[in-house]
A and B are shown apart, each in its own frame.
Chain A
Amino acid sequence: MDISADFNWWQIEPAMLWTDVLIYILVAAIGIFVVYARRHEHLRAPWRQVLYRRLAMSALIILMAFVVIGLLDSIHFKVPLEQREDGSVLYSTEVYSLFDRIVLPLKNHTEKTYSEPFAYQLYAKENIEQADGSMRRDFPRLKYGSAHLDAPEIQRGVDIQARSLVALGEAVLLGLLITTLLAGWQTRRNNERFTITLQGMLMGRTRLPWRSMLATVFFILLFLLFAMELGTHYHIFGTDKVGQDVLYLSLKSIRTGLVIGTLTTLVMLPFAVLLGIMAGYFRGWVDDVIQYLYTTLSSIPSVLLIAAAILVMQVYIENNPQQFATVLQRADARLLFLCLILGITSWTSLCRLLRGEALKLREADYIQASQAFGVRSAKIITRHLLPNVMHIVLIVIVLDFSGLVLAEAVLAYVGVGVDPSMNSWGNMINSARLEMAREPIVWWSLLAAFVFMFILVLAANLFADAVRDAFDPRLRSS
């Protein structure tokens, strides 16, 4: 069912998913942390070190672009279909996201089946009825891809070039505008001459790596405008088996990747931190119990534990269909559960690290002094231990992120990843395996999934490196 472009915005019905709620909480938490970190010099200093690294900032901007798409895709609502006589409104059963609305042409332009990137014909021959009633076997024209061209075989190349040039021109103009605005803002802030500021920024002489950041923004703009100019008239990455635009599928998968990468740690973080610190601080039987817990968990091969847990969840969903009204809710419940179980398998290493650190810290003078003064253990843990192990938590979170995004793809292949109805790179790769065996092969879904996943994971890895370098005291001293 197509979502129509014109509906009354004030009539939409919000449809929040469980993961949406958690994402909002996460964003709020990050916001609070940023405000908190700005006020505390010991936190600002390492972050400043991250901000001054060129590669890290470029990676951060790319990550932000992904995050924006993921957030837009996390605002879900139901669309009003018609107004009934009695004034009530009939809503669509399908849930849409704000992102769906923005990229509406991509979502709605579905072909019959596979088509190559920038193609004007389907990838498979069909019987086509001629004007005189006779049948001919040929590749049919696409419904949307290159539909605006009369003679695509001649016009297509020129059209693509022209549209690319327009996109390039727009990107350059927008880039120049942003640069000017930025330089103007910096000029006022630093009380310099405009030309000097601009020169410094473009020559890469500023402390904040403005030049690298602007270059990254420019490339993102270029891709965006390119997709806008060409994506509405062609299928840039082709279409999949049921004719969906692969670019749309890849973009929709961003949310899944981000959710797996972030919520997993968020879900288990409180347990890991609390148990790890408690084990190290209290020692004795508490330590024994917690150590037993994480040794047991970590001695189970993680894939097996995840697989077993997902199987269980699957059976539960099948036996309790009344709790999951829509397909999306089902898929969302499974996604959340996947995050939970991934978290359970990955919290043990952090817990072990924190236990070691707490064991060391509890011998420190200031904690011994607090104990001598009779300060309660709960207060010592929250006031002294927690802030002093936060750097380890932060390092582990950023380092784990890319691993989790990659794990999603592997799990999808094993058959225990996210729901098959959910867009994810893992599911795209999984279906691509059969497409590779086709003759001639269908390579574009695989390539698209590869490109998007690679960019996200690479950016995350580069950023994580910078964060680790800045926050790891061992690396900082040397």
Chain B
Amino acid sequence: MFAYIVRRVLYAVPILIGVNLLTFVLFFVVNTPDNMARVNLGVKHVTPAAIEKWKVEHGYDKPLLYNSLEQGSAALTNTIFYEKSVRLFVFDFGAADDGRDIGHDIAQRMWPSLAIALPMFIVGLLVNITLSMLLAFFRGSYIDMSGVVLGVIFMSVSTLFYIIGGQYLMGKLWHLVPISGYSNEWPAAIKFLILPVIIGVIGGIGSGTRWYRTIFLEEISKDYVRTARAKGLSELRVLFRHVLKNAMVPILTGVVVVIPMLFMGSLLTESFFGIPGLGSYTIDAILAQDFSIVKAMVFLGSVLYIIGLILTDISYTLVDPRIRLN
């Protein structure tokens, strides 16, 4: 098991190098640092001197990949690629275009992101599984059918409408919770978190319930369920004791698929609700065209994704003894 994990982590290295190269190429294949400087300076202030100054200030005055002026290893290290990308591997994110330390920003903004993403994820999972178990229990009946139709309808509404509608109804019309904002004090933060969590859960019900319902129905059609029923176990007991347990592997697979999505979802939610997390940080960076931050976030996102994949594999062995990692 330990050897397996080590090997998986080593596999991650070429992937992360690929991610880094890709973002780097993406940024510099059509645009030179001069173009970036021009966009950042705005139309009015573009002079050759200003461009040069901007490049020196932000560390874009070096060659892209190979520095022919330097000797030995410095020829590779004294380049934009090394300065801006390779250091990410030791989680040295460097400085943003406005001079702030990205690593410090990430460490600070991580907590609000987690405070909103974790409850959303857990509550969402519980609600979806409960609802889909209910549909599976009443399978083939009108309850099941209308549940499926409702699921499709819920799925067809854009997340943006859930957010805008929720903010309008609960925040502006009923004055139940503040429309947006965040607090670092613990009990006070809850009132800011309720609305985004509820909206996040409702927004995911449609596709979530549908997905789990299919898993449960597939599991129910297997032989061991028939055996369990034949033994005289009640339907509820069969569902919760046997089916739920055996459905854990596909459920876990689905959960990992959600982890990168969680990242994307929080991007929207955070900037709509003014929560100072990583999502709004990224959006601000995108709007300000800050390459260093975007790059750091891409790297971080990939690392999280790969960790998620490894964790799923490990969790498989915990829920299903038939699966052995080697």
A50 CB to nearest chain B CB (Å): 16
Q: Cβ of B73 < 8 Å from any Cβ of A?
A: no
Residue A106 lies at the interface, judged by CB distance under 8 Å to chain B? no
Partner of B30, one of A315, A429, A432: A315
Which residues of A are found within 8 Å of B14, using beta-carbon distances? 292
Q: Are B39 and A315 in contact (CB under 8 A)?
A: yes
Interface bin, chain B: 35 or more
Is residue A115 contacting chain B, with contact meaning CB distance below 8 A?
no
Question: B38 an interface residue at 8 Å Cβ cutoff?
Answer: yes
Main SS at interface, chain A: helix
How far is it, in angstroms, between the C-alpha of A319 and the C-alpha of B19 when the chains are bound? 26
CB distance from A461 to the nearest CB of B (A): 5
Q: Are B156 and A458 in contact (CB under 8 A)?
A: yes
* Pick from B15, B164, B260: contact of A432, CB under 8 Å: B164
In the complex, the answer to whether A315 meets B264 with C-beta atoms within 8 Å is: no
The 8 A CB mask of B271-301 against A (1 = contact, 0 = none) is 0000000000011001101000010011001
User: Size band of the A side of the interface?
Assistant: 35 or more
B50: Cβ under 8 A from any A Cβ: no
A319 vs B298: C-alpha distance when bound (angstroms): 25
B268 near A413 with CB under 8 A, answer yes
CB contacts under 8 Å to B, within A426-468, are: 429, 432-433, 436, 446, 450, 453-454, 457-458, 461-462, 465
Most buried by A among B156, B260, B297: B156
Interface membership of B35, Cβ < 8 A: yes
Q: Contacts of B164 on A, CB cut-off 8 Å?
A: 429, 432-433, 436, 446
- CB interface residues, B 132-171, toward A, < 8 Å: 152-153, 155-161, 164, 168
Q: How many angstroms between the C-alpha atoms of A314 and B36 in the bound complex?
A: 11
Determine, out of B20-28, B75-83, B85-93, B223-231, the stretch whose residues face the partner at the interface: B20-28
CA distance A462 to B151 in the complex (A): 11
In the complex, whether A242 has a CB less than 8 A from a CB of chain B is no
A303 adjacent to chain B (CB < 8 Å): yes
Tell me if A304 and B298 are in contact (CB < 8 A).
Answer: yes
- On chain B, the residues within 8 Å of A304 by CB distance are 282, 294, 297-298, 301
The 13 sampled A-B contact pairs (Cβ below 8 Å) are A299-B306, A300-B23, A301-B305, A305-B26, A307-B282, A307-B286, A308-B26, A309-B26, A312-B29, A414-B267, A415-B286, A457-B158, A461-B156
Among all A-B residue pairs, the 8 with the closest Cβ atoms: A296-B18, A301-B301, A458-B156, A457-B156, A299-B302, A307-B286, A299-B305, A316-B30
- Chain A residues near B (Cβ < 8 Å): 292, 295-305, 307-309, 311-316, 318-319, 402, 406, 409-410, 413-416, 429, 432-433, 436, 446, 450, 453-454, 457-458, 461-462, 465, 478
Query: Told that A315-B289, A461-B152, A461-B156 touch, could you supply 20 new A-B pairs with CB distance under 8 A?
Result: A299-B260, A300-B298, A301-B260, A303-B263, A308-B27, A308-B286, A311-B289, A311-B294, A313-B30, A316-B30, A318-B38, A319-B35, A402-B155, A410-B159, A414-B286, A415-B283, A429-B160, A429-B161, A432-B164, A453-B158
